[in-house]
């Protein structure tokens, strides 16, 4: 097993503690390196990929990645960084998301040494006595040391007892898998420290805690998040990834080169220096970033192809070469007609989750039909007028209608 240099000398946020890490590595055995992920949406994004890549680095050193799919805790919702209670998910929703996560995780992690567990294995079987025993391990005062809980309490914003349970359940995961190290984003620090407390109470050696910086989302304000919609998914199509990354604010370019490209720090630093000196223009830096990320997740050359398609669409204003087709079935028609707002929801369900949202998109002026801007939010089309029509939403969403 390697020494701690590959952790200490690479980008990270907090390490608690370096001395404990060096001592564990000196044991000469594979360490159990835990990372938990709650399946709360269908996409893994570039922000979460930061910590996944750190987990892969441990795998490359011969250590065992212990990936916890929080299928049980996802139904509670992680309160970290939240100003309000997170809506609960159903078991069916969580299972659906978990299935897509596993496929995406293998884009980053090595197939071995890897252990994938669901925390429902040990949490779902708990009875009320088990839960009460777990809640006795800490105090309300300790819980209110968390900034997000403390702020909500001070503001009079409700905090459910269920949310207090979340850090305890996440910490119990570490006890059950006997984690030597746990990774997480910097917003997870408090939860990870709670696990150390529980492990020591169970007679285990406390895990080392290693947190990674949070990647700011495309809005340039908040951390990249599925729920905020400011993210780039690792499973997004090449053209979608490229187009989204071209919208990264200039001020965040350095962070994206550091955290999103999987480059060595030396290369990222060199590119940032060129950017700072003016030798590299921001628009060219974004192109380099976008090509690199697309190549990372779709293979060498995919970034260049996505760039060429981007230029064809956004410079020449041509339709993409590969426009997805949307079949409008007879069940969508009313008296042989269908509202354009409904067609938007059918064609672009991620961007337009409802007919009401489709109507709002039309009012905003971002919808075109065969290159003509649509202004009427109540526009209806006859079935005979649908075939072959080109529907466009914003700059990146295209669909060919079929009836």
The CATH number given to whatever domain includes residue 277 is 1.10.240.10
H helical segments located in 202-339: 238-245, 253-259, 265-277, 282-298, 302-314
- Residue numbers of the domain that contains 267: 238-314
Please state the pTM of the whole predicted model. 0.76
In a shared domain, residues 108 and 80: yes
In a shared domain, residues 374 and 342: yes
In angstroms, rounded to a whole number, what is the distance separating the alpha carbons of residues 44 and 53?
A: 13
> What's the CA angle centered on 11, arms 235 and 206, to 5 degrees?
95
In a shared domain, residues 201 and 275: no
In this predicted model, what pLDDT tens digit does every residue of 125-176 receive, in sequence order?
999 999 999 999 888 888 887 777 888 888 888 887 878 888 899 999 999 9
Q: What's the number of domains the chain is made of?
A: 3
In this predicted model, what pLDDT tens digit does every residue of 194-249 receive, in sequence order?
999 999 999 999 999 999 999 999 999 899 987 778 899 999 999 989 999 999 99
H helical segments located in 348-387: 355-364
Q: Residue 194: which residues within 8 A CB-CB, separation 6 or more?
A: 138, 167, 168, 170, 171
Task: From 74, 168, 85, 79, select the one nearest 130 (Cα to Cα).
Answer: 168
In a shared domain, residues 48 and 151: yes
12 occurs within a structural domain: yes
In a shared domain, residues 207 and 264: no
In a shared domain, residues 34 and 114: yes
In a shared domain, residues 72 and 148: yes
Task: From 29, 4, 52, select the one nearest 205 (Cα to Cα).
Answer: 29
227 occurs within a structural domain: no
In a shared domain, residues 183 and 106: yes
Backbone angles phi, psi at 15, to 5 degrees: -135, 115
In a shared domain, residues 31 and 59: yes
218 occurs within a structural domain: no
């Amino acid at each position: 097993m390697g020494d701690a240099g590959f952790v200490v000398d690479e980008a990270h946020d907090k390490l608690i503690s370096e001395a404990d890490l060096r001592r564990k590595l000196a044991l000469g055995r594979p360490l159990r390196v835990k990372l938990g992920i709650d399946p709360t949406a269908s996409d893994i994004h570039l922000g979460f990929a930061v910590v996944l890549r750190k987990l892969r680095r441990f795998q490359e050193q011969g250590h065992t990645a212990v990936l916890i799919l929080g299928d049980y805790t996802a139904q509670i919702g992680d309160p970290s960084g939240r100003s309000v209670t997170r809506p609960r998910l159903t078991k069916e929703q969580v299972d659906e998301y978990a299935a897509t996560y596993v496929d995406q995780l293998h884009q980053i992690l090595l197939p071995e040494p890897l252990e994938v567990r669901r925390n429902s294995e040990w949490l779902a079987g708990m009875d009320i006595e088990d839960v009460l025993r777990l809640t006795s391990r800490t105090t309300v005062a300790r819980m209110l040391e968390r900034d997000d809980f403390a702020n909500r309490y001070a503001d009079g914003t409700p905090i459910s007892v269920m949310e207090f349970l979340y850090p305890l359940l996440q910490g119990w995961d570490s006890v059950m898998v006997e984690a030597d190290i746990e990774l997480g984003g910097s917003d997870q620090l408090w939860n990870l420290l709670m696990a150390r407390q529980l492990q020591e109470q169970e007679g285990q050696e406390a895990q080392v805690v290693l947190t990674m910086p949070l990647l700011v989302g495309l809005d340039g304000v908040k951390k990249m998040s599925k729920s905020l919609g400011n993210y780039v998914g690792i499973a997004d199509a090449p053209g979608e990834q490229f187009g989204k990354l071209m919208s990264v604010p200039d001020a965040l370019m350095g962070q994206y080169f550091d955290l999103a490209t999987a480059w060595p720090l030396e290369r990222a630093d060199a590119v940032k220096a060129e950017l700072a000196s003016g030798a590299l223009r921001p628009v060219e830096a974004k192109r380099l970033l976008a090509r690199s990320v697309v190549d990372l997740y779709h293979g060498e050359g995919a970034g260049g192809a996505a760039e060429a398609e981007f230029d064809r669409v956004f410079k020449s204003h041509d339709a993409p070469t590969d426009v997805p087709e949307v079949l409008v079935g007879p069940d969508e028609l009313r008296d042989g007609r269908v509202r354009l707002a409904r067609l938007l929801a059918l064609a672009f369900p991620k961007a337009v989750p409802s007919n009401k949202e489709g109507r709002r998109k039309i009012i905003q002026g971002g919808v075109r039909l065969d290159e003509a801007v649509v202004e009427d939010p109540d526009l209806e089309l006859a079935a005979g007028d649908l075939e072959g029509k080109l529907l466009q939403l914003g700059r990146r969403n295209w669909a060919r209608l079929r009836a």
